[in-house]
């Protein structure tokens, strides 16, 4: 690790943030954080005990009432200041993201920008919370509805976008007047601790936002999910873990937002602009090294253009530079750990074993770190596992189709329903296909749907609830109806 990198790690908070105070775990335990590009230890953070987590919830509960009455304008201004601070510190935050998560610096900068925009968006939403007033249909009585913060929230975020997946929960929670306990992924805790420091500096009162880092989520979050004082759980992560959390949360009837796995189809029709389709495919596939729930997981391409598309995609993928994300000119960083790399590698081996051709890549990169080659698989057979499972890596399987109906059927043949990408220049077809897709989002002639001003979220086993857009704050508000006698 270079000196500037070590200095950055050394000055980043590494303790729990509870009730506005930084403190170690009550057991004194710490957990090690690794650089996935070298496998070396970057540093250590506090490893919270269940008692520490309860202390974080105590702090959130204690100030909930006061925070709910904090003027919306001031809540918005705190978010706005935090947005500005994030942008002033973009270089440092980006380096921290790259060090602990592995993505190339330019992508880390894009994540800081994307993440900060959630704070700006919700700083503007804080003052737009409203209700309704109407006359009862009989003419007697008035109906008044108001929106109030749901109360203390439990937030659990993943390692793939350690900052942005946090800000899109924190932003609306602050705007709505909710307090929080945040549990970031154990693989990438530093970025969230840095963000906690920024929120503190932006003037967020003690206790509103609390962070517990831990080597194991279940033992510390389980008791909070069961605690009658918690009101909501927002989780981003795998469907499998989401289902377990949901079962646990059902005992306590928590409000839930679940942003879970995906298996995004990328459809290219015969009338598509192929150059644009390949450009979009590179973003949809390779953003975040393919480690994204909105990553294009399978490419369904009309058989008349499949060879052409595959060749162009192969050229673009083959031209990418793999390496440590801090190095100039690197396009593709390491996967998060060896387990993830093995999942990717097994899926490629399975497809090749069933007859697919790796026209580019197809293997691990030797040396330290968890690198995998950008890979394009042609002529992928229908029974290949990579068409069914979330790859979460830099692998693009291509499969041909003959008819529009077949493409839609294929696209929907998944338990997931987060996002789909569609490339066509035929407007009628675009509408038909978009309406036929069982997903929460569609990228029409574009490979990126993520936008803080839009409602991000899925259907089916990709979860429920929306993050961002006008819908995002609703997840943190409860409706109260008042029957007024006249």
List interacting residues with ligand SIN (CB under 6 A): 160-161, 164-165, 236, 292-294, 450, 456
Instruction: Please provide the distance, in angstroms rounded to a whole number, between the alpha carbons at the two ends of the chain.
Output: 72
Phi and psi, residue 411, nearest 5°:
-60, -40
Q: Between residues 117 and 227, which has the closer beta carbon with respect to ligand SIN?
A: 117
Under 8 Å between Cβ of 37 and 289: no
Smallest distance, Å, CB 231 to ligand SIN? 23
Q: Give the nearer residue to ligand SIN in terms of CB position, either 161 or 269.
A: 161
Is 259 annotated in the active site?
yes
DSSP, collapsed to helix, strand or coil, labels residue 92 as helix
CB nearer to ligand SIN: pick between 236 and 310: 236
Largest distance between two CA atoms of the chain:
77
Active-site residue, from 117, 200, 259, 373? 259
Q: How many CA atoms lie within 13 A of 341 on its CB side?
A: 20
Complex with ligand SIN: residue 448 or 470, whichever CB lies closer = 448
Length of the chain: 486
List all residues 6 or more positions away from 339 whose beta carbon is below 8 Å from its beta carbon: none
293, 373, 474, 475: the active-site residue: 293
Please say which residue, 325 or 447, places its beta carbon nearer to ligand SIN. Answer: 447
Strand spans (E) along 150-203: 153-156, 180-183
**Cα separation, 451 vs 123, whole angstroms:** 16
Q: Please, what sign has the CA dihedral across residues 158, 160, 162, 168?
A: negative
Residue nearest to ligand SIN (CB): 450
Closest Cα to residue 449, out of 457, 440, 441?
A: 441
Phi and psi, residue 280, nearest 5°: -65, -40
Nearest to ligand SIN of 53, 195 (CB atom): 195
Is residue 293 part of the annotated active site? The answer reads: yes
Q: In whole angstroms, give the CA distance from residue 387 to residue 397.
A: 7
Nearest distance in Å: CB 287, ligand SIN: 7
Q: What's the CA gap between 320 and 315, in Å, rounded?
A: 9
State the nearest-atom distance from the C-beta of 272 to ligand SIN, in Å. Answer: 23
Q: Mapping DSSP to helix (H, G, I), strand (E, B) and coil, where does residue 450 land?
A: coil
> Which residues are marked as active site?
259, 293
């Amino acid at each position: 690790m270079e000196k500037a990198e070590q200095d950055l790690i050394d000055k980043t908070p590494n303790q729990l943030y509870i009730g506005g105070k930084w403190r170690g775990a009550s057991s004194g335990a710490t957990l090690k954080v690794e650089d996935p590009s070298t496998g070396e230890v970057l540093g250590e953070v506090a490893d919270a005990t269940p008692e520490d987590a309860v202390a974080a919830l105590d702090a959130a509960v204690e100030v909930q009432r006061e925070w709910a009455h904090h003027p919306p304008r001031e809540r918005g201004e705190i978010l706005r200041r935090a947005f500005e601070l994030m942008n002033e510190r973009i270089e440092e935050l980006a380096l921290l993201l790259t060090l602990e998560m592995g993505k190339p610096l330019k992508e880390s900068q894009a994540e800081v920008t994307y993440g900060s925009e959630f704070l700006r968006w919700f700083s503007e939403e804080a003052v737009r919370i409203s209700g309704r007033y109407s006359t009862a249909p009989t003419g007697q009585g008035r109906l008044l509805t108001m929106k109030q913060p749901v109360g203390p929230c439990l937030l659990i975020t993943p390692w793939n976008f350690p900052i942005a997946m946090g800000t899109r929960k924190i932003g609306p929670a602050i705007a709505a007047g909710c307090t929080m306990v945040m549990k970031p992924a154990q693989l990438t805790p530093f970025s969230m601790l840095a963000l906690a420091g920024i929120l503190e500096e932006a003037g967020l009162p003690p206790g509103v936002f609390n962070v517990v880092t831990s080597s194991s989520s279940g033992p510390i979050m389980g008791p909070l999910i069961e605690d009658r004082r918690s009101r909501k759980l927002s989780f981003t992560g795998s469907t499998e873990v989401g289902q377990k959390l949901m079962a646990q949360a059902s005992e306590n009837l928590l409000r839930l937002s679940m942003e879970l796995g995906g298996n995004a189809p990328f459809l290219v029709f015969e009338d598509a602009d192929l150059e644009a389709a390949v450009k979009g495919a590179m973003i949809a596939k390779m953003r975040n090294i393919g480690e994204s729930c909105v990553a294009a997981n399978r490419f369904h391409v009309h058989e008349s253009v499949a060879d052409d598309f595959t060749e162009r995609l192969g050229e673009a993928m083959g031209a990418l530079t793999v390496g440590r994300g801090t190095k100039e000119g690197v396009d593709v960083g390491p996967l998060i750990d060896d387990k993830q790399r093995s999942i990717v590698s097994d899926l490629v081996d399975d497809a090749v074993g069933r007859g697919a051709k790796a026209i580019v890549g197809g293997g691990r990169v030797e040396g330290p770190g968890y690198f995998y080659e950008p890979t394009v698989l042609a002529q992928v057979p229908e029974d290949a596992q990579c068409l069914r499972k979330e790859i979460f890596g830099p692998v693009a399987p291509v499969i041909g189709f003959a008819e529009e109906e077949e493409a839609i059927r294929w696209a929907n043949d998944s338990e997931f329903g987060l996002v789909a990408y569609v490339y066509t220049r035929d407007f009628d077809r675009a509408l038909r296909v978009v309406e036929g897709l069982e997903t929460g989002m569609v990228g029409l002639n574009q490979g990126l749907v993520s936008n803080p001003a839009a409602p991000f979220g899925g259907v089916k086993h990709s979860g429920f609830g929306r993050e961002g857009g006008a819908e995002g704050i609703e997840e943190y508000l409860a409706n109260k109806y008042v029957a007024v006698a006249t």
